[in-house]
A and B are shown apart, each in its own frame.
Chain A
Amino acid sequence: MNLLIHDLKEFNQDILIKSSQNDTVIIAGNGKIHPCICCFGCWIKTPGQCIIKDGYDNLGLLHARCSRLIIISQCFYGSYSPFVHNVLDRSIPYLLPYFSTKNGETHHKFRYDNKIVLKVHFYGNISDKEKETAGKLVRANGVNHHAQETEVYFYDKVKDIQGVV
C-alpha cells in the first residue's frame, strides 16, 4: 500500500498519481487535526492507536500497512509544514515505547515488521541551507520509520510536482 500525506490546497489526482494500482491511501488536512500532546496514551492506554479521536487516530496502523510513504509538503526552515509535521507527530503509535540502540544512538523499537521507502517532495522558496537541513531531517525520519531508503526532492512550484505515486 502507498500512503500519501500532503498539504496541497488543490490536489489533482490525475497529475500526482500515475500508478494504475488503486492502493494509495491519501492523508490530507481537514482543518481539525489536533496536535500530539505527548500523553503516551498510544503506548500505555490503547497500544498502537492514538487516543485523540479526530479522524487521525489510525496513523500508526496506516504506517504499518504501507510499503511506500510519500510526503508532499511546503518546506519551512528545512522542516515540513505544520499539518504534515502534525501527521508525522501523531504517527508514533507505529512505534513501541521501548528503545534499541542503532549506530550509537537510541531509537524506538518497531511495533511492526514492514519496511518502507520514504519519498519526500518539498516545495516552496527554499534556501540551500534549508535544503541541506531538510535532507538531514528526512534521513533521520527514515531511521525512525523503518525506511529502507529515503529520497528527497525539491520544487520551486507546486505545479512541477507530478506522478509521485
Chain B
Amino acid sequence: MKISIINGSQKPSGSNTGIILSTLNNLLGKDNDIDNYTLGVKQFSAEIYNKIVLSDVIVFAFPLYTDSIPSNMLKMLIESESFFGREKAKETVVYAIINNGYYEGKQTHIAFEIIQNWCDRSGVHFGGGLGQGAGEMIGATQKTPLNKGPFNNLWRALKLLAEKIEAKEPFGIKYLSPYFPRFLWKIMAHNTFRHPLASKNKLTKKDIVSKIM
C-alpha cells in the first residue's frame, strides 16, 4: 500500500500535527510504502505532486486556521487539483486529521466539508478522518505517551484509522476532545501556557490584554 502523509502545519518546528502523524506512522504496518511530506510555508514541486497522485491513500493533516484550512495548504490543494483527474485518482482514498486549539474537536467540521469538496473536484474518494480538540495540549503533554494520558482516546482512534487506511475502507468522521475537563483545560491554557511564555518576554497580564489604537 502506497501512502502519502502530508503535514500541512505552517509552524517551522514542533507542530502538534507532527506529533499526531508520528503516532500514526508507528501504528501503520511496516510493509506499507509510506512517504511523509511537510508543507510548511512553501509549495511542493511538480515532481512531488506526481508522486503523491500515484498513492493508494493520501492523509492530509493540519491545524484549523480561521475555521478552515491554513492558507498555504489551501494553495497546495488548488495546485494539486490539476495533477489529479486521472484514471488512477478514482482509486485514491483521502483521509484527514484536523486538530484545533479550541477544546471541541467538532469545531473542525467545516474544514472537513472543505476537504470533501476538494475530493469531489479532484475525483478522489473521501474516507473520513479525525477532528481533534485541544490541539495545543498535545504538545504540552507530549512527555506522556499518547496511549496513557488525556489523549488516549485519540490514540485508540488513530489505531482504528490506521486499520481503515490499510484496508482503504471508510472511517467516517470522528470528533474528539481530550479526557480532561474543559474548565481545567481552560485554566491550564490561561495560567500554565500563556502567562509563563509572556513573562519570559517581560510582559504582564495587563500587557497581554492591551489595546493598540
Q: Could you tell me which A residues sit within 8 Å of B by CB distance? A: 34-40, 43-45, 47-49, 60-61, 64-65, 76-80, 82-83, 85-86, 88-89, 96-99, 101, 105-107, 111-112, 127, 129-130, 132-133, 136-137, 140-141, 144
A39 to B10 Cα, complex, angstroms:
10
Chain B interface SS verdict (over half): helix
Query: Which A residues lie within 8 Å of B12 (CB)?
Result: 37
How many chain B residues touch A (Cβ–Cβ < 8 Å)?
Answer: 48
Given the interface pairs A38-B9, A97-B194, A136-B113, the reply to whether A43 lies near B208 with Cβ below 8 Å is yes
Interface residues in B5-53 (C-beta closer than 8 Å to A): 9-12, 41
Q: Can you list 14 A-B pairs with a CB-CB distance of less than 8 A?
A: A35-B70, A38-B63, A43-B198, A47-B209, A60-B212, A78-B110, A78-B113, A78-B117, A82-B78, A89-B71, A96-B208, A111-B209, A127-B120, A141-B67
Given the interface pairs A61-B212, A136-B113, the reply to whether A38 lies near B197 with Cβ below 8 Å is no
Interface residues in B159-200 (C-beta closer than 8 Å to A): 182, 186, 189-190, 194, 197-198, 200
Query: Which A residues lie within 8 Å of B197 (CB)?
Result: 40, 44
Chain A interface SS verdict (over half): mixed
Contact partner, A85, options B71, B121, B212, Cβ 8 Å: B71
A78 touches B114 (CB 8 A): yes
